[in-house]
């Protein structure tokens, strides 16, 4: 009977069973390997507060680094972040899910840049 046969499992190119084409994977790797400081989030008040705190921390540390604010959900997902706001330093996610205070951001930036 066909009721008791196992269904054939289809091969997946990605662990999340999405349509992970080689081009999409390469683009995601390029996005996450870029250096610099990025704030990931939709542009809400919390994301803007994190950006302000990071900007103030960079000024105190005398670091001339531009801050990119990434609002594209595809790019945010490329970092593996599911909770915004998030802070990325030199391609590594160093904080996510909370608004850092200036002193916290300063400590994270010093640790990440040394």
Just list the catalytic residues. Answer: 44, 47
CA atoms 30, 28, 66, 36: torsion sign? negative
Q: What is the dihedral of CA 38, 47, 28, 23, to 10 degrees?
A: -120
Q: How far is residue 45 CA from its own chain's centroid?
A: 18
């Amino acid at each position: 009977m066909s009721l008791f046969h196992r269904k054939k499992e289809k091969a997946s190119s990605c662990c999340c069973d999405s349509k992970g084409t080689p081009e999409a994977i390469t683009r995601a790797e390029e996005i996450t390997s870029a250096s610099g400081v990025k704030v990931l989030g939709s542009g809400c008040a919390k994301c803007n507060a994190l950006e302000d705190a990071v900007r103030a921390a960079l000024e105190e540390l005398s670091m001339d680094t531009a801050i990119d604010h990434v609002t594209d959900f595809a790019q945010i997902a490329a970092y593996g972040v599911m909770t915004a706001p998030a802070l990325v330093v030199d391609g590594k996610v160093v904080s996510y899910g909370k608004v850092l205070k200036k002193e916290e951001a300063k400590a994270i930036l010093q640790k990440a840049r040394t």
